[in-house]
Structures are given as structure tokens and as C-alpha cells.
Amino acid sequence: MNEIDVYNKLTEIFRDIFDDDSIEINSETSAADIEDWDSLEHINLISAVEKTFKMRFSMKQVSTMKNVGEMVSIILNASKK
């Protein structure tokens, strides 16, 4: 799996979780960029990402993640293990 594959899958997840087919994400996308991204939707998003990529984020990763780029890095690192 490469970075483009991860972004494509994440785009699908974001569009599904936030029920908005117009969402386009990039490495700098954060909660401030998506209107409905609140704490509850963050939990739903993390859960969907973990399920899709068959991995688990640590609490530290979840609490320090600032944008989609950091999420992608964590996913890519997890897929190499």
C-alpha cells in the first residue's frame, strides 16, 4: 500500500463519516477544515480508519494527531510492520 492508496481510502472514509461527497482531503486537512468534525465524529472517524486499515491507533497517536498527513504517516508505518 502506498501513500496515494491511503489517501484514496481515507477520502472514501471521510465522505462516508461526514456524509459529504464533496470532501477532498490533503496532508494539511484538519478538524478546522470540515464543519461537522467534532469530538464524536472524530471517534467515528478513528474507528472507521482502524477497521479499514486493520490497525489500531494508540491513545497518544489519537491525542497528538494534528492533521490527515500525520494520520497517513501512522497508517503507512503500521502497514510496514
CB 3 within 8 A of CB 69: no
Sorted by sequence, the CB contacts under 8 Å of residue 1 that are 6+ apart come out as 76, 79
> CATH number of the domain at 3-79, out of 1.10.1200.10, 1.10.3720.10, 3.40.50.300, 3.40.190.10?
1.10.1200.10
Question: What is the per-residue pLDDT across 9-62, written as a single tens digit (0 to 9) for each?
Answer: 999 999 999 999 999 999 999 999 999 999 999 999 999 999 999 999 999 999
Neighbours of 53 (CB within 10 A): 20
CB 38 within 8 A of CB 3: no
Its pTM stands at 0.93
Neighbours of 71 (CB within 10 A): 23
